[in-house]
Structure 1
Amino acid sequence: MAYMFLVLPALSCATAISERQMSAQENTLQKSRNEQEGDHRPLVLVHRLPTFSLLSSDSLLIHFRLLDPVASAADEPLQEFLPRHGQSIRALLCLGPTPLKADILDLLPSLQLVAACSAGVDHIDLAECHRRGIAVTNAGTAFSEDVADYAVALLLDVLRRVSAANRFVRSGLWPQKPDYPLGSKLWGKRVGIVGLGSIGSEVAKRLVAFDCRIAYNSRAKKPSSPYTYYDNVCDLAVNSDVLITCCALTSETRHIINKDVLTALGKEGIIINVGRGPLIDEKELVQYLVQGEIGGAGLDVFEKEPYVPTELFELDNVVLSPHLAVLTPESFEALHELVIANLKAFFSNKPLLSPVRLD
């Protein structure tokens, strides 16, 4: 699954494995001491869909008691489970895209923190959290480098037709059709980034190495940025060979890439989406790709995941990926550490490390 939480990196080094085993033994000893001395660990509610697993929870269990309704032997609806525990829950750990709306918040009158295990928080009712005085944290920069790497990989794949060439060779067509269609180079391309936040900035940093000319659109111009700013996405598209969407999904950014933007991007234009599926009007995008009105696309996210429009399957100028951009052992290790740090900061009345703006 694209959102499975707290996966630790595989270790091939015997020393590293030994250290991990020692750490696990220390965790077990610490949990045993907790039980012997009386358990004073703060209670944290795990909010997840049944299809999402809480992995590598040992480190969390050293510091916190985890209440996981999905794993409860009672096997009862959340609306029946929470009323018995809601008064004592001050912090909630939200895994992946699990919706968190007013109906659940109503059952948690003491809730003060929602710690999201994702960079995007469009599945959480931020306005309702703000109204109730509930702080929200997200994955911060834990995924930024990995997503930026993936965005550049998708772009190179689309431009140089790497995946299409792989299919061409595997299908046995090379001896029959030696003149494979050429791709286009990345070097020197004009790249427009929609959302110059943590991920967008990392994308820009990588593309500067390809001598790309970077421009961007964000909610506001960033005084410290050396890149050209456009306050209108259509203007950005007109002046770009490639658009890369990295912004958060909000009511303002939903379908920010629409028919007008795709037209402005032009027949040779490439679009890469590593943000959220609904940032793009998918119906329009499919039509433009099928009709050859834009040059290609690299898509890691889709409007109604896991559904992917079947019209895209046969297009060699489109690279499809099942929401994998964030998935590396290193990024999950960073997320693991950040979640623990945010929860410890909250229960110690210290500043949160990755707070989400709610205003």
Structure 2
Amino acid sequence: MRRPLLLVGQPLLAPIVPLLAQDYDVMTLWEQPDTAGLAQVDAVVWAGEFALERALIDAMPNLSLIACFTVGYDGVDLALAKARGIAVTHAGDANAHDVADHAIGLMIAHRRWIVGGDRHLRAGLWTIEAKTRTRSMGGAKLGIVGMGSIGIAAAERAQAMRMQVSWWGPRDKPALPWPRADSLEALARQSDIVLVAARADESNRKMISAAIMEALGLEGLLVNVARGQLVDEEALIAALKNGRLGGAAIDVFDPEPTDPARWADVPNVVLTPHTGGATHEAVGQMAQMLIANLSAHFAGQPLPSPVRL
């Protein structure tokens, strides 16, 4: 009996290939396998933010599982997977707490002028005559877009910092202790900080529009740790340049990696290169979850973290 054959999709997943090779035969997409080889693939190991093209799925008639190494799976066509009878798994909430930590860190870095202050000092601009005043986190009104695992973890941290938390999502969650705004625009209007923590799909692309930024206002801070496609990046840059939005702290971009020249003259922004969930601990948990999903699938057992199709 042959071992299951896996196709690993992206070079960034190369470090897990030796781990997978202990129990499976492994091919890598970046080494351009031939069509005959693809025809034997049983499962794909994929980084969920990348589009999994229909043509690639068509080339794998034996495909029975798309195993996303990542928490996100927005690059997977779930309707197609359901139609083909292909199971989809992801990493569950493996990095939710680390992403929430990063979100709070971005808020503090911007609101307390930590990044700007570092640059100010290094440029020799600190004088005894002047001291820059920043804004307290306590009492700040935080509006969270999307109240899944990351949103809840961020809300708990924010509450411990004496922030006032509210949220908005398309579906109410009455069990949550924080109030839900009537609309996304209403959330922006009532908030000092808006944190984007929603799952991305084609229905909410550019949901953080120029109008939402206008509602957040001249003193408002936009923080995004979800997906770049949720924010109208052109509108964001324009709002920052013309002062219609107070500031932004961004970990995710559309596309990635973002062109640094795009941000060279954009004021009042703190940028990180999609590192919110990229801790050693979270990646280790993702690897464990991937192995568990693969093992359960090929043993015919319930999947530990399936995506509901």
Kept after mapping to 2: 8 A contact 1:266/1:294: yes
Shift of the 178–302 alpha-carbon distance from structure 1 to 2, 3 Å rule, reads farther
Deviation at 1:40, TM superposition (A): 5.0
Q: How many angstroms does 1:56 deviate by?
A: 4.2
SS of the residue 1:84 aligns to: helix
- Which sits farther off after the overlay, 177-186 or 166-175? 177-186
Aligned 8 A contact 1:45 1:66 in 2: yes
Shift, 1:304, TM fit: 2.0
Distance 1:137 1:63 in 2: 18
Aligned-residue CA RMSD (Å):
1.9
Aligned equivalents of 1:46, 1:65: Cα separation in 2: 11
Q: Which amino acid aligns with 1:241?
A: D
Corresponding residue of 1:67: 27
Q: What is residue 193 of structure 2 aligned with on the other side?
A: 242
**In 1, distance between residues paired with 2:17 and 2:38?**
22
- Alpha carbons of 1:354 and 1:304: their partners in 2 closer, same or farther (altered >3 Å)? same
Cα distance in 2 for residues equivalent to 1:266 and 1:70: 45
Partner of 1:163: 115
Moved more, 85-94 or 255-264: 85-94
Instruction: Find the aligned partners of 2:261 and 2:240 in 1 and give their Cα distance.
Output: 12
Aligned to 2:7: 45
| Counterpart for residue 107 of structure 1 | 59
Q: 1:178 to 1:169 in 2, by over 3 A?
A: farther
Q: Which amino acid aligns with 1:59?
A: L
Q: How many Å apart are 1:323 and its aligned residue?
A: 1.0
The answer to whether the 8 Å contact 1:220/1:231 transfers is no
Partner of 1:197: 148
For 1:85, which of 37, 40, 43 is the aligned residue?
Answer: 37
Count of matched residue positions in the alignment of Structure 1 and Structure 2: 309
Spell out, residue by residue over 1:6-58, the C-alpha distance to the aligned partner (whole angstroms, 9 max, x if none): xxxxxxxxxxxxxxxxxxxxxxxxxxxxxxxxx8532222122xx43411444
Write the letter of the residue equivalent to 1:67: M
Find the counterpart in structure 2 of residue 125 from structure 1. 77
User: Which SS does the other structure have where 1:164 is aligned?
Assistant: helix
State the one-letter code of the partner of 2:158: L
**Helix, strand or coil at the partner of 1:228:** coil
Q: CA deviation at 1:147?
A: 0.7
TM-score, normalized by length of structure 2?
0.94
In structure 1, stretches of 5+ residues that fail to align are: 1-38, 72-76
Write the distance in 2 (CA, Å) between the matches of 1:192 and 1:353: 32
State the shift of 1:285 in Å. Answer: 0.9
- Alpha-carbon distance, 1:308 to partner: 4.0
The 5 A counterparts of 1:315-330 are 315=266, 317-330=268-281
Aligned counterpart for 1:173 among listed residues 115, 125, 130: 125
Confirm or deny: 8 A CA contact 2:48 2:74 kept in the other structure: no
- Give distance in 2, aligned partners of 1:297 and 1:42: 46
Q: After superposition, where does 1:299-318 map in structure 2 within 5 Å?
A: 299-308=250-259, 310=261, 312-315=263-266, 317-318=268-269
Instruction: Describe the superposition over 1:140-191 as per-residue Cα deviations: whole angstroms up to 9, x where unpaired.
Output: 111111111100000000100100000011111113x742432111112111
Aligned residue identity for 2:148: G
Amino acid at match of 1:229: R
Partner of 1:344: 295
CA distance in 2, matches of 1:266, 1:97: 30
Unaligned runs of 5+ in 2: none
Q: Is the 8 A contact 2:48 2:73 kept in 1?
A: no
Alignment partner of 1:290 out of 241, 249, 252: 241
Q: Is the 8 A contact 2:207 2:231 kept in 1?
A: yes
Q: Is the 8 A contact 1:193 1:245 kept in 2?
A: yes
User: Match of 1:252?
Assistant: 203
Matched residue type, 1:141: D
Give the share of equivalent positions with the same residue, in percent: 35
Alignment-derived partner of residue 28 in structure 1: none
2:48–2:76: 8 Å Cα contact kept in structure 1?
A: no
Deviation (angstroms), 1:208: 1.0
Normalising by structure 1, we get a TM-score of 0.81
User: How far apart, CA to CA, are the structure 1 residues paired with 2:277 and 2:151?
Assistant: 14
Q: Secondary structure at the match of 2:21?
A: helix
On the 8 A contact 1:290/1:311 being kept in 2, the answer is: no
Read off the aligned partner of 1:62 and give its amino acid letter: Q
1:281 matched to 2:241: no
Larger radius of gyration: 1
Q: Establish whether residue 145 from structure 1 lines up as the match of residue 97 from structure 2.
A: yes
CA distance in 2, matches of 1:158, 1:105: 43
Cα distance, 1:282–1:309 mapped onto 2, change above 3 Å: farther
Match of 1:214 among 165, 173, 197: 165
**Mapped partners of 2:269, 2:29: distance in 1:** 40
Matched, 1:186 2:137: yes
- For 2:51 and 2:202, the matched residues in 1 are separated by 16
